[in-house]
Amino acid sequence: MLKEFKEFAMKGNIMDLAIGVVIGGAFQQIVNSLVQDIIMPAISMITGKVDFSDMVLTIGDASIKYGNFITTIVNFLIIAFSIFLVVRYLNKLNKLKELGELAATKLDKKGRLKKKKQEETKEAEVKPITKICPFCYSEIKYEATRCPHCTSELVEQKEKNTK
């Protein structure tokens, strides 16, 4: 049982998750500092309030700290937007990787598929594999210069077809 737990804990996904939690905690501290030390004082100057954390609604003995709630909402919005930008970028990288594997597709500068021109979509002309001998009407290979059935020379016919 201990061996199974060790295998589970050392799997790449668990380690990635642990690293993500640690980095997320550090990122949360950065965002908290940004909101409390820069954004909220700027909003306080605009609204005329000195400190949002002092904004309290007192009813009887109960106090509702709506200033802290506003600060928490701003924290959440910044973190959610940052995560959105990272996920969007990673999805774009995955899309580019998938599309890069397809040799026939081309991308523009923004990573979108280019529209194919009509010239590119035209199918290449396919040479026929066989033809009919004009002398004996047998089916023969297209590149043949002499009919294997009637032994007629087909050089003239080939020259006419290539012109």
Least Cα distance to 69 among 50, 83, 82, 56 occurs for 56
| pLDDT at residue number 161 | 54
Query: What is the three-state SS of 110-139?
Result: CCCECCCCHHHHCCCCCCCCEEECCCCCCE
Question: DSSP assignment, residue 142?
Answer: T
> Model confidence over 123-159: pLDDT tens digits?
556 778 888 888 888 888 888 888 888 888 887 544 4
pLDDT at residue 88 is higher than 60: yes
Phi, psi of 20 (to 5 degrees): -60, -40
- What average pLDDT does range 54-76 have in this prediction? 85
pLDDT at residue 85 is higher than 50: yes
| pLDDT at residue number 107 | 59
Q: What share of the chain is helix, strand, coil (3-state, %, to 5)?
A: 60, 10, 30
- What average pLDDT does range 88-102 have in this prediction? 78
> Model confidence over 4-60: pLDDT tens digits?
877 777 776 777 788 889 988 898 888 888 888 888 788 778 877 666 777 888 888
Token duo for residue 151:
């032994």
| pLDDT at residue number 48 | 76
Least Cα distance to 68 among 40, 26, 42 occurs for 40
Phi, psi of 127 (to 5 degrees): -75, 140
Confidence band of 80 (pLDDT split at 50, 70, 90): confident
- What average pLDDT does range 108-132 have in this prediction? 65
| pLDDT at residue number 51 | 67
Q: CATH class for domain 2-101?
A: mainly alpha
Helix, strand, or coil (residue 156)? helix
Domain boundaries, the chain: 2-101, 123-162
